[in-house]
Structure 1
Amino acid sequence: MTVWTERDLPPLHGKCAVVTGGTSGIGRATATALAAAGAAVILAGRNAARGAEALAVIAEHAPGSSVDFEALDLADLASIADFAARIAARQHAVDILVNDAGVMALPQRRTTADGFERQFGINHLGHFALTARLLPLLRRAPAPRVVGVTSLSHRSGRIDFEDLQAERHYGPWRAYSQSKLAVLMFALELQRRSDAAQWGLTSLAAHPGWALTNLFSNGPASEGTPSALMRLMRLGTRVFSHSAVHGAGPILFAATSPTARGGCLYGRSWLWELRGPPAPARIAPQARDERAAARLWEVSSRLTSQAFGCADRRE
């Protein structure tokens, strides 16, 4: 694959994009680029003040663009339902859904409003429920795409169906890796189910490599990760990381490139996929387990009360 940059973004005029976590970091960089290419972008986030700040930043970098903020708390199924209803009331269709928001390696086990372990609940279940609720709008678009933002950490993840919410045994990185594996498995299974049911979706995943974002402040740095580990992480960040703007590259490629294929993962091409231009990325064997993916889908559907059943296309 040839080297792809943000300059290769196709014109997106007339398209609507929803970006979760769009008020900061990689999500905001993704939203900015989509808006600059002409898309009408909806930033989905919890904090209205940060939403207003993001709107101002995007307006500066993409003058004249169409960007709005809508409140969404992925840790609350009721908030997800309200958000989807508001989007359905104002939009005929959604062309691009970027499921980017997330939390990382919370040192202490915490739960969502619905009682889910917080990393699994936000990173996977929240986006599962959101995608299900937006599916009718996605199906109205001529070529809809759903991008799940995963991590290199998916390679060390395992789906523990016997302790999915880490009620018996909780480890910060174990829970994070499981959640990011679930994100990838959902993206791949969504493509399989779309193909089988003829939903017309292109579902794929992307990881940013090692990007310098505020995800650390939403996770280990904010809640007492051992100082030695934090020093090691900061050293790695200085050596290997790139900016959030650069980190958005694989996500933008997955969301817009005509050469991106459904059921694939895109990441980085250099230095063990930590850096470099967007490129196809290695998918861990456990993420390709279709039986486990089907089981995860059914469990997620039951937990969120979302069956992906209301998917009729409205012309």
Structure 2
Amino acid sequence: MISIPLLADMLSADSTATSGVTTALGAATQPLELDVNKWFSREMMNDWLNSGINFGIRVVLAILLFLIGRWVIRRLLRIFERILKRREIDGVAVTLLGSVLTALLYIALFLTLGGVLGVKSVSFAAVLASMGLAVGMALSGQLQNLAGGVIIMVTKPFSIGDYILAQTVEGSVRAVSLFYTEILTPDNKRIFIPNGVLSSGVVVNYSHEETRRIEWTIGIEYDEDFARVRSAIESLLESDERVLKTPEPVIVLHKLNSSSVDVLVRAWVRSDDLWPVFWDFNRRVYEDFNKRGISFPFPQLTVHQGK
């Protein structure tokens, strides 16, 4: 039979070892109690309180500084925009330069706020640089749009308010930011085109020139007298003050179709008057030709029946 000694017997057998362990535990516990008391001492609590009050004051000052700085930035941007407009700087350049200045001013404001909160300028700048690198790597495709915005500002293919056609989108230019150009379509839709695509693609600017040419193709029957038709069209053009006298309108016999004769009419108007003149002339031709008895053709097919 195997006998297992009890714990009490073991402790009683070696009382010297037991007392040594107790002494060691007491020695290990005493410094811990002293450190805890020192950690929660009155001096330490006062230091915490003072640090909290100082940080709270810094936060309040930072908030006030941010509000004041934002107001100052807005005022500076308005003054900057007025100066550029007085110097007749293009609207696209005004928008892009305003965006760049806004970014720089807010970066300076945040650096100042970091100093108020106790963040060292070098550390804060390093953090901003790291964040900028990370954002730049994440948004590498936007760098092309940024470069496209600069190209648009330098080359000036259009201005704010111009009516353009680009990337199958047709409308008026409302704004040009660092990365996108905002287009307002005739049916009141806002479309944002990336500057990178816009600067490298084909852009048709309908508003760049002060005058534009309108073309009409009017079909008449073969039986009609071209001289009479020409005289009627000349009267309609001369009676419209929006049609420019120079260059002179052109009225020619353009094409002989199977069922009609096409008369080509070309006239110059101011760019803003293009569509009103175009639609009004169509209506007036229809009404005047009916009064004069000039017939409009329609497709005809002659069939000869054999015997």
TM-score (norm 2): 0.21
Please state which structure has a larger fraction of its residues in helix.
2
**Higher relative contact order, chain-length normalized (CA < 8 Å, sep 6+):** 1
TM-score (norm 1): 0.20
Which one has a bigger Cα radius of gyration? 2
